[in-house]
């Protein structure tokens, strides 16, 4: 029996839609088993009525109501907060995300933060914009260091965490991580030096020179990094957040940075986005900010389409899908 696959490109451009078209239409098995439709806005609403599967960035309540036969929504984003709306959850639909699409680019982004702080490049960039020749000894700071031999703590060892582990190992770093389900691994060859359950997060923080938050946002992780948790970090350690802004209590983080209770922070996500112009984070010397861009890569939709096509094979064969949303955990 053929399936109807509607690719609802509500947010993506034509080139992104083409990545999904290529992934399906160049596969002989999928090409014969599905009917592809592409649409946006009102056109999507008109063609979604008999759809069994929808691929999209978001599905509005209006669009959902127009799809009575819908069984599976494949989101092309990795994060699910804000995607699994009450209307969607009430339908108990099969939901999947594109976890894995971000591994290389976000790992490189975090590594960029780490190298900038370790080599004090953030200070030299500030001096460059001011036209000042400032050597580190003139700045009266600790001086440039090396990642070699330092410990990286990864909070949430998923695909991004594994990609970061592989890159940190290339710098001869020790890597420790937390993971709720240690039996779930994506790259068997990528092995951290120590793996802790989530409740041992304070232990990880106490050991780490660099801490990367790579968790999904849920009720459980809301403000996980509060003043008490930040106090578990070394005063010489750096914090990086590429997960979600609300995992960190931003006021507590600002206080810790101002008091130098931690050395610095590289932040790509924030409690409120765009980050308000009056936030102290903008002007802090020990902070590097990027405007939620760590996920950007020219390979995004090619990877997302490949993940979807692999899952579509499983769906048509009646096999369990990967990246399935867990209604109990909320991600």
Active site residues: 244, 273, 292
If we measure between CA atoms, which residue out of 185, 236, 179 comes closest to residue 204? 179
Q: Spell out where 184-310 has E strands.
A: 194-196, 210-213, 238-241, 264-267, 287-289
Per-residue confidence of the chain (331 residues) as pLDDT tens digits?
456 787 666 555 667 788 888 998 899 888 877 888 888 778 888 889 989 999 998 899 999 999 999 999 999 999 888 899 999 999 999 999 999 999 999 999 999 999 999 999 999 999 999 999 987 665 445 688 999 999 999 999 999 999 999 999 999 999 999 999 999 999 999 999 999 999 999 999 999 999 999 999 999 999 999 999 999 999 999 999 999 999 999 999 999 999 999 999 999 999 999 999 999 999 999 999 999 999 999 999 999 999 999 999 999 999 999 999 999 988 9
Where in the chain do CATH 3.40.50.720 domains reside? 3-101+298-316, 103-289
Quote the tokens at residue 77.
Answer: 């984003």
Is 0.85 surpassed by the pTM of this model? yes
- Cβ atoms of 76 and 57 within 8 Å: the answer is yes
The CATH number of domain 103-289 is 3.30.910.20: no
**What topology is assigned to 3-101+298-316 in CATH?**
Rossmann fold (3.40.50)
The H-or-E segment that residue 227 falls in is helix 227-230
Number of residues in the chain: 331
CB-based contact 204:147 (threshold 8 Å): no
The answer to whether 52 touches 3, Cβ cutoff 8 Å, is yes
Specify the 3-state DSSP secondary structure of 154. strand
- Answer whether the bond into residue 274 is a cis peptide, omega within 30°: yes
**Measured CA distances, 114 to 42, 103, 140, 237, 254 (Å):** 46, 17, 21, 11, 19
- Residue 153 near residue 165, CB atoms below 8 Å: no
């Amino acid at each position: 029996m053929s399936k109807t696959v509607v690719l609802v490109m509500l947010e993506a451009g034509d080139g992104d839609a083409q990545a999904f078209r290529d992934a399906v239409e160049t596969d002989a098995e999928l090409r014969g088993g599905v009917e592809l439709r592409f649409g946006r806005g009102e056109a999507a609403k008109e063609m979604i009525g008999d759809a069994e599967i929808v691929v999209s960035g978001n599905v509005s309540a209006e669009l959902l109501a127009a799809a009575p036969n819908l069984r599976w929504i494949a989101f092309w984003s990795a994060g699910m907060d804000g995607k699994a709306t009450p209307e969607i959850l009430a339908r108990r639909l099969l939901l999947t995300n594109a976890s894995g699409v971000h591994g290389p680019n976000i790992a490189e982004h975090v590594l960029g933060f780490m190298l900038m702080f370790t080599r004090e490049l953030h200070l030299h960039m500030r001096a460059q914009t001011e036209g000042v020749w400032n050597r580190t000894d003139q700045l009266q700071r600790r001086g440039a260091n090396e990642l070699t031999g330092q410990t990286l703590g990864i909070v949430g060892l998923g695909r991004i965490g594994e990609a970061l582990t592989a890159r940190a190992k290339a710098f001869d770093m020790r890597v420790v991580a937390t993971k709720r389900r240690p039996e779930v691994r994506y790259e068997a060859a990528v092995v951290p030096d120590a793996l802790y359950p989530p409740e041992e997060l304070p232990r990880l923080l106490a050991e780490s020179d660099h801490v990367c938050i790579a968790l999904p946002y849920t009720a459980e992780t809301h403000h996980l990094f509060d003043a008490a948790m930040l106090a578990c970090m070394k005063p010489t350690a750096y914090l990086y957040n590429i997960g979600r802004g609300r995992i960190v209590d931003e006021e507590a983080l600002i206080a810790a940075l101002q008091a130098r209770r931690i050395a610095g922070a590289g932040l790509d996500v924030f409690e409120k986005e765009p980050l308000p112009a009056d936030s102290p984070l903008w002007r802090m010397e020990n902070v590097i900010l990027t405007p939620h861009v760590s996920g950007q890569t020219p390979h995004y939709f090619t990877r997302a389409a490949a993940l979807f096509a692999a899952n579509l094979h499983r769906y048509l064969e009646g096999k369990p899908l990967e990246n399935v949303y867990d209604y109990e955990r909320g991600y």
